[in-house]
Structure 1
């Protein structure tokens, strides 16, 4: 259970501060989710917070 940021990411940065486990970081052209750290916000939020704030709907479940 993890999420991934697709290449449609507009590099706005809205997702990064929403991650309760700091699994999101800026990459070269898009933000990147470290799938080994991602917990789908279980125990923190009722839904994945990063996906909820992504204006481009670029965050998908893997």
Structure 2
């Protein structure tokens, strides 16, 4: 597991793309818990992007 301190700052679009890939992998492997995690994370990221359309910073790292 990656610690928050070692995560690089990326755009919200890059984070969404990465989480989409992880969701696809989790679904393909049958890992339902991981798939639910990424589905919820994606939902939150997409809401953030909708509410701040011109802001490309990834606010997930602010938490």
Q: TM-score, normalised by structure 1?
A: 0.26
Structure with the higher strand share, 1 or 2: 1
Instruction: Report the structure, 1 or 2, having the larger helix content.
Output: 2
TM-score w.r.t. the length of structure 2 is 0.25
